[in-house]
Structure 1
Amino acid sequence: MNLNQLKNIYFIGIGGIGMSALARYFQAGEKFVAGYDKTATDLTAELEVAGVEVHFEDAVENIPEVCLDKENTLVVYTPAIPKGHKELNYFVDNGFQVVKRSKLLGLITENTFCLAVAGTHGKTTTTSILGHLLHECNVPLTAFLGGISENYNSNLILAGTDVSVVEADEFDRSFLTLSPNLAGITSMDADHLDIYGDADALKSSFGDFSRRIKTGGKLFVKNGLPLSGITYGIEDDSDYAIQNIKIKDGSYIFDVKTPDLWLEKLEFNLPGRHNLSNALLALAMAVEYGCPHQQLAKALASYRGVKRRFSTHVKTDDLVYIDDYAHHPEEINAAHQAVREMYPNKKVLAVFQPHLFSRTRDFIDGFATSLAQFDELLLLDIYPARELPIEGVTSKWLLDKVSSERKKLIDKSQLISEIQKSDAQVVLTIGAGDIGEEVKRIKKALSFES
């Protein structure tokens, strides 16, 4: 497949965070870009402003006529699209070139120097830090991000095509389409068991990914993971290790031991040890790529984060409101650690929307334990995403397992009023579903905006 010769790219599921980045990439490359998604969002609105044609009804007659040119059109879809999708079946039945998003990402990056970040947690933040570090060091790169970077207000950094920075997504084994030069693995906790079946199969897939690294390439692994590579860790004996951590005015100040030298008094402004670990992996990969140390230190201090990754929306002496994408027990634990470290002795209210019936079922006890750490809990119904309900798997089942007294099951219509009833000084909304669309309303209510 010659991507340069194609004139039209049609995306089925164009509003997804990964799909919309690819749409932006091809739009910038002067292709005709169009697509379908189930619902209108801020991402689809921004694509439309950029000139991308988007519609929201699954109907073949809505496909732009130019995209019906079989010889010059590539159709891209995500694994979340149901098998009965009319448009997808039309393209398949009529012999169009049809590929998954992951396959296309592999094609785009195969002739670049590729830096890829994998892991069940932390890959979006790490990828965005890495993209920012390389960009600030004037590397000619394209970075495809799984979230909206606060520095660039986009999920795409487009500053050249020699180097690519990508998330290596383990869902549906998508990362096995990539062949990176430098690859990092943040974590290998059990997840996506609806795809893998068990934790051993997931771990095996990460091993397969590590073997996709190009000859002469390098693998970076968090210290303790069962893979061989350049190790990184916090206050340990890793090849890259953070030492002498201090907190000053809400920021981390620390030193980094590398295989060759010490980097002193680096600054990083995202709270949480998990984010500090993410920053270390990005820094290690940028050092091994060849970025100058002084420029890296300056770039790290200027990194502002990813939307919905521990994003602070209200911060006063009396109240703090933070929103986070955490949707796995380990991610909730990390968010809890960050809140307690940055706001010790303050009462914390967590508002959680579980994501997927299967994930809730598979990690029910882990969710119960992680959520019980907060002083107060408001629990929303499970966000189904791509799934149908599973009998007996409900938020009420989860709530009953949480061993705390101040807990309540609510629906979205009660969200603002229940938050306002709380006497908590820190409010934390967490989840990967459409709870993110409630952030503006919550911020407005808590900051008393008109």
Structure 2
Amino acid sequence: MNIETIKSVYFVGAGGIGMSALVRYFLSKGKIVAGYDRTSSELTELLNKEGASIHYTDDIALIPEACLDKETTLVVMTPAVPQDHSELTYFRTHGFEIQKRAQVLGTITRSSKGLCVAGTHGKTTTSTMTAHLFYQSNVGCTAFLGGISKNYHTNLLLSQVSPFTVIEADEFDRSFHWLSPYMSVITSSDPDHLDIYGTEKAYMESFEKYTTLIQPGGALIIRKGIALQPQVQEGVSVYTYSKEEGDFHAENIRIGNGEIFFDFITPDERINDIQLGVPVSINIENGIAAMALAYLNGVTAEEIRTGMKTFKGVDRRFDFKIKTDKLVFLSDYAHHPSEILQSISSLRELYRDKKITVAFQPHLYTRTHDFYKEFADSLSLADEVILLDIYPAREQPIPGVTSELIFQNMKPEVAKSMCSKEQLVDVLKEKEIEVLLTLGAGDIEDYVSPIAKMLEKRL
């Protein structure tokens, strides 16, 4: 099906952060856009205001008439929707063309130069940073982001003239195998999604296959030291990067007074005095990857310097809600042990002498089962930890797998407790808070605003 000639697009699972960027893209193309999502959210309500028609009951009768012609309608589905979903079943049995989100992105990128960011963690911040560097420069870009950019208050950027499309390349369900990158960053390859892949070996093989998809004439920019053997095609350049070594790296790092400066080293140039707009140490490495993509594609040194300084971050990624001398509160989407390790370590670097309290909601029973010891180790870097129940997302419970597994394996010197998400605000009300971090990819985000209001009253 030709994306240019279709008249309507129907989304089964319209409210996800990745799907919603495609909703906005097709609206911008003048298509009729409708869809289903399980629950109403701030994002789905925004999409309705922007021209989509999204409903929240799985009911064939609610599919608009404009989306019932299989010759002119493309159906886009998310892997998170169950296979017995009645609307999806209707489209399947009536011969509609049904594509996964990543297939559609793959089609879009094949007509442009795809700049893709893959990795177990770091990809949302790095891809959003990359998009900002390009968008504010002479080069420009279109971008499909896995988070809401704080610079642009959206997850979709559009350019009518730039040949570049920035994409977050998601390894879940092997989605990134649909892409045809011109250039790609790989930030990390720590095993995850073992419910899909089965083994760590299969997970790594999936990343290796992804590296074969980079187009000749393009480049792979891979973080130095990750356990991955890239299998690139002939004509693909391979560069390494990291915080302190590799083809692209940082030197002369200066951290203090809530600011971070460093010099950006490329294979043949040095760009001095890069200032991070979001000054946390993990963003040094994220920034190096983003700047490497920008540098290799014609963004000037001065544009790189301006872009890094003006980058405001991504909603839910190291997202400061309160930042005063007395009290700091931030939320982070981290839901893998390595991400949590980096998140708490970055906070510890910023606030060496303060007590760090973490509230964590584990995401998925399978991930908790596979990594509960690693979660316990990472969380033990905090001074106090409050564990919530597991957020199931698409999964059914697994007998014996609860937050208690993490709780029992944490180091004894850490103050720890467990509570339900509904109790969280009241539990925090009774605690002495200096630096508070909420972690998780589930609905712990729904409690961020009430927590902030409670803490602001304390101030």
TM-score normalised by the chain length of structure 2:
0.96
1:227: which partner in 2? 229
Cα distance in 1, alignment partners of residues 256 and 9 from structure 2: 48
Match of 2:305 among 287, 297, 301: 297
Query: What are the equivalent positions in structure 2 for 1:15-94 lying under 5 Å apart?
Result: 15-94=15-94
Structure 2 residue matching 1:10: 3-state secondary structure: strand
RMSD between aligned residues? 1.3
Residue-by-residue CA offset, 1:60-83 (whole Å, 9 max, x unaligned): 001011100111100000110101
After alignment, is 319-328 or 225-234 more displaced? 225-234
Residue-by-residue CA offset, 1:317-349 (whole Å, 9 max, x unaligned): 211001000001100000111111111110011
Query: What are the equivalent positions in structure 2 for 1:335-350 lying under 5 Å apart?
Result: 335-350=343-358
Query: What displacement does 1:175 show?
Result: 0.4
Query: What displacement does 1:373 show?
Result: 1.4
The aligned amino acid for 2:225 is G
Structure 2 residue matching 1:382: 3-state secondary structure: coil
Q: Is the 8 A contact 1:272 1:335 kept in 2?
A: no
Cα distance in 2, alignment partners of residues 316 and 268 from structure 1: 19
Query: What displacement does 1:449 show?
Result: 9.1
Q: Is the 8 A contact 2:129 2:290 kept in 1?
A: yes
Cα distance in 2, alignment partners of residues 298 and 327 from structure 1: 31
Q: Is the 8 A contact 1:251 1:268 kept in 2?
A: yes
Match of 1:397 among 379, 402, 405: 405
1:218: which partner in 2? 219
Cα distance in 2, alignment partners of residues 89 and 308 from structure 1: 34
Match of 2:275 among 267, 289, 300: 267
Query: What displacement does 1:310 show?
Result: 0.4
Residue-by-residue CA offset, 1:22-65 (whole Å, 9 max, x unaligned): 00010011100011000011110110111110100001001011
Q: Percent identity?
A: 46
Cα distance in 2, alignment partners of residues 204 and 268 from structure 1: 34
2:375: which partner in 1? 367
1:189 is the counterpart of 2:190: yes
Where does structure 1 differ by over 6 angstroms across 4 or more consecutive aligned residues?
none
Cα distance in 1, alignment partners of residues 5 and 141 from structure 2: 22
The aligned amino acid for 2:197 is Y
Match of 1:276 among 259, 284, 306: 284
Residue-by-residue CA offset, 1:149-196 (whole Å, 9 max, x unaligned): 000011111123622100111111100100111111000001010111
Q: Is the 8 A contact 1:271 1:338 kept in 2?
A: no
Query: What displacement does 1:91 show?
Result: 0.2
2:424: which partner in 1? 415
Q: Is the 8 A contact 2:345 2:381 kept in 1?
A: no
Structure 2 residue matching 1:308: 3-state secondary structure: coil
Structure 1 residue matching 2:262: 3-state secondary structure: strand
2:116: which partner in 1? 116
Residue-by-residue CA offset, 1:332-386 (whole Å, 9 max, x unaligned): 0001111111111100110000000000000010001111111111111000000
Structure 1 residue runs of 5 or longer lacking an equivalent are none
Query: What are the equivalent positions in structure 2 for 1:315-394 lying under 5 Å apart?
Result: 315-394=323-402
TM-score normalised by the chain length of structure 1:
0.98
Cα distance in 2, alignment partners of residues 22 and 162 from structure 1: 18
Residue-by-residue CA offset, 1:239-280 (whole Å, 9 max, x unaligned): 011011002431210001111111111101324332211110
1:426 is the counterpart of 2:435: yes
The aligned amino acid for 2:427 is E
Structure 1 residue matching 2:156: 3-state secondary structure: strand
Structure 2 residue runs of 5 or longer lacking an equivalent are 231-237
